[in-house]
């Protein structure tokens, strides 16, 4: 077996139990299974340049190799092109793009820096797997430096249609760089279709099945929906967490149900719309007041980007307004927590909640949806209410699917979920758990590696 070298913008701390962020969770699961090297930024910003050699640390079967960035890199590459241009655009939010020409220079420069660092650790038989929108030009940078190993890429976020892609500065260059990979993986068939439209209509290449022919080479472009370690998550949920159990018991005595939302505090996750929908539920169905609460846990993220400061303020104002309007001396309708929760507590909270409320405005996949399903018991499962704009909705068809822009639709669906008979809940849960088991973390790793190492790919029936 070849050594696997993974590259992503950040390297997660594999020794910690609190991981907020889908890439850290997904890649962490994959590497724990197979071992290998994980290279990325260490989160430090320096005033000066450092030599390219990364700092090496071994954690079990994984070697972590980290590099610092300069303050300028951080501003132009990370906050700038990656998170103020590509992130909003790839999530169809043209209104939130904030572009300066330095950003693109920084994006190219830092991709070159990642290539230099990677070359110092690469061995001839390695296979390289690069992750996400920060590093789209990395294969191209590596090839320019003579790297001949197979290189794959997985995009964790959506790939937008050509009309939206056209708003990315130098989009032709960006997509041409993407085609320097040997394998390009997407979360959904919609994303894959968007790439196909772009390469056929804008670049004039043909995609036959899942292969794009470019001069004398072939690139595989496929759909590899990311999965989770279902049994591990279910076990965590079953083991429980003492504080969560006590709280659940208290609610049971009072006959109260809980709706749960867990997200990075990102404008793509539809949090204000979610809170408004919950407010609408209490308005439309007064009989539910005092009988249901929404627990929303939102973890801080990218706090230096203006749009993120705004969303936090909006959310605090909205939860305050709903509580001000509906709360009683012994009932708080919205319990809003700004922070990160350890994974075992999260799993227990999912199991203890009657509804998982996952309503992004646009999302590559959304692992929370899969985690919520994995945490349920088949004896008395909760109900997943899922936005049709989450990649996960392509697979999880037995969830209650909602339009996150329509609060009345969401409120009515919540009411349906809260009152759903046990038999229907069990049927839906069984179908959903079968789906997430079939395409779990191991399936994701193995199918991608099969394409990367063996040039084999059969389209997944998403
Ligand atoms: P994210 O946008 O980070 O990931 P998601 O897939 O939901 O979104 O993953 C978040 C992860 O962080 C989950 O494992 C969740 O449990 C955890 N998490 C979130 N908030 C937390 C909190 N407050 N406390 C503790 N843990 C928390 C990106 C893409 C997604 C894609 C993933 C993986 O945007 O669409 O599914 O990568 O490919």
Give this complex's ipTM: 0.99
Does residue 329 form part of some domain? yes
Say whether pTM exceeds 0.90.
Answer: yes
Are 341 and 368 in contact, with CB atoms under 8 Å apart? no
Q: Are residue 398 and residue 333 in the same domain, yes or no? A: yes
Same domain, 20 and 91: yes
| CA of 29 relative to ligand 1 center, distance in Å | 13
Nearest CA to ligand 1 atom 4: 22
| Pair 239, 189 in one domain | no
Domain that holds residue 31: 4-227+441-454
Most ligand 1 atoms within 8 A of CB, residue of 263, 359, 386 to mutate = 263
Place of tokens 């071992």: 35
Query: Looking at the predicted structure, is the pLDDT value of residue 84 above 80?
Result: yes
Query: Does residue 446 share a domain with residue 412?
Result: no
Are residues 260 and 375 located together in one domain of the fold?
A: yes
pLDDT tens figures, 136-186: 999 999 999 999 999 999 999 999 999 999 999 999 999 999 999 999 999
44 located within any domain: yes
Side-chain-facing half-sphere of 279: CA atoms under 13 Å:
18
Residues 74, 8 within the same domain: yes
Q: Is residue 459 part of a domain?
A: no
CATH number at residue 249: 3.40.50.2000
Residue 373 lies inside a defined structural domain of this protein: yes
Q: Are residues 356 and 269 in the same domain?
A: yes
117 and 135 in one domain? yes
Task: State CA 217 to chain mean position distance.
Answer: 31
- pLDDT tens, residue by residue, 391-425: 999 999 999 999 999 999 999 999 999 999 999 99
Given a cut of 90, whether residue 255 has pLDDT beyond it is no
117 and 248 in a single domain? The answer is: no
Number of domains in the chain: 2
Same-domain status, 277 and 308: yes
Please classify residue 461 by burial: count the beta carbons closer than 10 Å to its beta carbon, then call 0-12 exposed, 13-18 middle and 19+ buried.
exposed
List, edge to edge, every strand of the sheet that includes 127-131: 55-59, 62-70, 36-46, 4-10, 127-131, 151-154, 183-186, 217-223, 211-214, 207-208
> Would you call 363 a catalytic residue per the annotation?
yes
Per annotation, catalytic residue among 91, 131, 134, 156: 156
Q: Are residues 267 and 144 in the same domain?
A: no
Say yes or no: 277 and 183 in one domain: no
Is 98 among the residues known to form the active site? no
């Amino acid at each position: 077996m070849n050594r696997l070298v993974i590259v992503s913008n950040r390297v997660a701390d594999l020794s910690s139990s609190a991981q907020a962020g889908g890439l850290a969770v997904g890649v962490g699961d994959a590497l724990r299974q197979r071992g290998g090297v994980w290279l990325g930024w260490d989160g430090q910003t320096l005033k000066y340049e450092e030599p390219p050699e990364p700092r090496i640390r071994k954690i079990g079967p994984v070697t972590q190799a980290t590099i610092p960035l300069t303050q300028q890199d951080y501003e132009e590459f990370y906050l700038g092109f990656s998170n103020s241009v590509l992130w909003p655009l790839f999530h169809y939010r043209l209104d939130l793009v904030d572009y300066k020409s330095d950003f693109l220079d920084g994006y190219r420069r830092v991709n070159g820096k990642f290539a230099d660092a990677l070359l110092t650790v690469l061995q001839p038989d390695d296979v390289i797997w690069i992750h996400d929108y920060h590093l789209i030009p990395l294969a191209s940078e590596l090839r320019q430096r003579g790297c001949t190993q197979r290189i794959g890429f997985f995009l964790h976020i959506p790939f937008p249609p050509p009309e939206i892609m056209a708003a990315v500065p130098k989009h032709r260059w960006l997509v041409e760089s993407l085609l320097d990979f040997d394998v390009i993986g997407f979360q959904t068939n919609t994303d894959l279709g968007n790439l196909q439209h772009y390469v056929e209509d804008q670049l004039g290449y043909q995609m036959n099945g899942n292969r794009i022919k470019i001069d004398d080479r072939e690139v595989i472009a496929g759909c590899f929906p990311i999965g989770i370690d279902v049994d591990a998550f279910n076990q965590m949920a079953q083991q429980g967490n003492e504080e969560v159990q006590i709280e659940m018991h208290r609610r049971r005595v009072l006959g109260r149900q809980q709706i749960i939302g867990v997200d990075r505090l990102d404008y793509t996750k539809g949090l204000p719309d979610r809170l408004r929908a919950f407010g609408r539920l209490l308005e439309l169905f007064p009989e539910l007041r005092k009988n249901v609460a929404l627990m929303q846990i939102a973890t801080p993220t990218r706090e230096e980007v203006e749009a993120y400061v705004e969303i936090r303020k909006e959310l605090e104002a909205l939860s305050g307004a709903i509580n001000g309007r509906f709360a009683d001396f012994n009932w708080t309708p919205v319990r809003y927590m700004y922070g990160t929760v350890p994974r075992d507590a999260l799993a227990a909270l999912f199991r203890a909640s009657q509804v998982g409320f996952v309503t992004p405005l646009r999302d590559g996949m959304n692992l929370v949806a899969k985690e919520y399903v994995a945490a349920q018991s088949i004896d008395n499962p909760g109900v997943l209410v899922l936005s049709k704009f989450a990649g996960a909705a392509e697979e999880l068809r037995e969830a209650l699917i909602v339009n996150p822009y329509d609060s009345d639709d969401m409120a009515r669906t919540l009411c349906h979920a809260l009152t759903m008979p046990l038999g229907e809940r069990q049927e839906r849960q069984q179908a959903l758990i079968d789906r997430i088991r079939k395409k779990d973390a191991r399936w994701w790793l193995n199918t991608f590696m099969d394409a990367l190492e063996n040039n084999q790919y059969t389209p997944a029936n998403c």
